[in-house]
Every structure is written in C-alpha cells, then in structure tokens.
Amino acid sequence: MRLLSLHLHPLKSSAVRDVGSARVEAAGLVGDRRWMAVDAAGAMLTARTERRLLTITADTAETDPSVTGLRLRADGLDDLALVEPVGPEQPLTVFGDRTVGVDAGDRAARWLGRALRREDVRLVHASRPAARSLDPRHSRPGDHTGFADGFPLLLTTTASLQRLDELVVAEALARGEEPGAPLPMHRFRPNLVVDGTDPFAEDGWSRLRVGSVVLRVAKPCGRCVMTTVDPATLASGREPLRTLARHRRRGTQLVFGQNLVPETTGELRVGDAVELLG
C-alpha cells in the first residue's frame, strides 16, 4: 500500500488543494483548515449551507511557497492577500463545540461577503489550532483539533471509491436510470488517499504507519450533503448519499473513509509506504 495523494483545505470548505508533502502535527496537517468563515455570532459557515465557499481557492505557504499568510481567489474578485492576524481571541463554535480564533479584519470580511453574497460574515484564523477536544467516545485524553469537522485527519482509499462508483452504477441501472459520471475523490475531501487496498479494507484498521508517522483510526467518517454538490457547478444530486444509505449505513450515519488521530508527528510525502500496525 502507498500514499497516493495528499490534500489541504486552507480555508474550511474552500477548494481542495493537492500537495506533494505535508507536515503532521497533533491537531492535523499544518495548513489544513486553519482559516474559517463565521457568521456574526462566531458560528462556523461551511459549504453545507454556503456552497459558494467551494468556489474560493485559498492558498498558504503549504500549498504555494510564494504565498505569505493567506491568498484568496474567486471569479469576479481581485485576489486578497492577508497576513495571519494578531489580536484578541474571540469565542467561536464548530458544530456547537467551543474554540477560539482571531478575526482577520474588515477588508477580509468585505471580500468574503462579496464572494458568498452575504453581509454577516467574518474570516477568522486559528490562533490555537489544537483548541478543541475530540469526541471522548472515539478519542483519548489529550487528542485535539481546531476547525476540522471532528477529527484531525481523514483517510480514503481508491479501491473503496471504485467500489462505491460500481454500486452507484448498479443502483442506477436497477432503477432504469442512466448512470452519472464517476464520483471524484475531492467530493469526500480527504487529507490522505491510499492506493493498493481491497475495497473498504480500512473498516478493519486500527493503527497504521504512513512513512514515519503513526496514525490511529478513530471512527468511520459520517458523510453529509456536501458530498452531493459538484464544486464546479454547485449543482447537487442524490449521490453518493442514496447509495451509501443502502450499503454503508452504520447506525444513524452513512460512512465513507476513516477519521484519524496522529500518534506521532512528522512529514508525509506522496508515495510513502503505508503499513498496518493493527
């Protein structure tokens, strides 16, 4: 097995950025989801409700070495270049969990408001990327993350996506419908994509080593409506949730991929060997 690809999302819910290497810290990949859009109350905004976030391209030094701080790009707007803000921390919420961040200022808020076509929006930076504790049912004391949905890292596999695509096609044909195009991996917004496995083999993993970094499997990743949205057009359909509901239901969740927690830190590189430890 090998690490096929690595992905960062510098601004939560923005366009996926592919990288050749990434540094793993306790809270996740350096540069991943360290910026976030929030409403006037400090609650996170994601593409679940603000689909236009998917059309914003965010870059940091981790995705483009020429960038210092953050660069935002969107069609019809001038690029916005920002440095990491310094100032008082403010309370924020991510899925109701309390965390903190620093507001990036009025210029950033105006740009983001134009991109999202709403006024009550602010841009914040994770001043403490490990400020949120994880769900105690699936973590250990001392496990933390920042603006990620629930866990520091998300892993998927090419074999599982291929099998899911096969199931989507079979379900469509059984209904007498024309199958759609195969689902791109970016719909699932993983950090790590692994090649060389059997379909859904990751369901049985508990620990793995990628390169020199040891990662613990926390739980299967429950999927949401974001997976049904085409980032290029912002149009949505019923897949993959319809097929996941028939074949990948775990309790109340429809699952694809595995949430991970780093046990050690270090550098990941595309092509790294992946070794199961349990």
> Is 161 domain-assigned?
no
Res 278: pLDDT = 87
Whether 163 is covered by a domain: the verdict is: no
Average pLDDT taken over every residue of the chain: 98
Asked whether residue 112 is assigned to any structural domain, the reply reads yes
Q: Which of 187, 170, 179 is nearest to 224 (CA)?
A: 187
SS3 204: helix
Looking from the CA of 118 toward its CB, the CA atoms found within 13 Å total 15
Task: Return the residue matching tokens 């004391």.
Answer: 141
Sheet containing 44-45: give its strands across: 44-45, 35-39, 121-125, 97-103, 90-94
Distance CA 110, CA 87 (A): 19
Domain that holds residue 91: 33-129
Classify residue 64: in a domain, yes or no.
Answer: yes
> b vs e for 52-71, b when ≥16 Cβ sit within 10 Å of the residue's Cβ?
bbbbbbbbbebbeeebeebb
Q: Specify the amino acid at residue 224.
A: C
Interatomic CA distance for residues 220 and 228, integer angstroms:
18
Indicate whether 89 belongs to any domain.
yes
With respect to residue 274, please indicate whether it lies within any of the assigned structural domains.
Answer: no
In angstroms, rounded to a whole number, what is the distance separating the alpha carbons of residues 84 and 27? Answer: 18
For residue 35, what pLDDT is reported?
99
- Burial label for 87, CB within 10 Å (0-12, 13-18, 19+), is exposed
**64 pLDDT exceeds 90?**
yes
Query: For the segment 14-59, what is each residue's pLDDT rounded down to a tens digit?
Result: 999 999 999 999 999 999 999 999 999 999 999 999 999 999 999 9
Report how far Cα 83 is from the mean position of its chain's Cα atoms. Answer: 23
pTM over 0.95: yes
pLDDT of residue 17: 99
pLDDT for the residue numbered 236: 96
pLDDT in tens, 184-233: 999 999 999 999 999 999 999 999 999 999 999 999 999 999 999 999 99
Residue 260 resides in a domain? no
Q: How far from chain centre, in Å, is Cα 177?
A: 31
Q: What average pLDDT does range 256-260 have in this prediction?
A: 99
Domain count of the fold of the chain:
1
| Exposed/middle/buried for residue 276 (C-beta within 10 Å: 0-12, 13-18, 19+) | middle
Instruction: Provide the pLDDT for residue 65.
Output: 97
Model confidence band, residue 268 (pLDDT cutoffs 50, 70, 90): very high
Q: What is the pLDDT of residue 91?
A: 97
Q: Residue 202 and residue 218: Cα distance in Å, rounded?
A: 12
On the question of a cis peptide bond just before residue 240, with omega within 30 degrees of 0, the verdict is: yes
C-alpha 121 chain-centroid distance:
21
Q: What is the dihedral of CA 13, 18, 19, 22, to 10 degrees?
A: 40
Among 193, 218, 190, 201, smallest CA distance to 163 is for: 201
3-state secondary structure of 214: strand
Is residue 172 assigned to a domain? no
Residue 74 pLDDT grade (very low, low, confident, very high; cuts 50, 70, 90) = very high
- Percent of the chain topping pLDDT 90: 99
Residue-wise pLDDT tens digits, 142-163: 999 999 999 999 999 999 999 9
What distance in Å separates the CA atoms of residue 251 and residue 195, rounded to the nearest whole number?
28
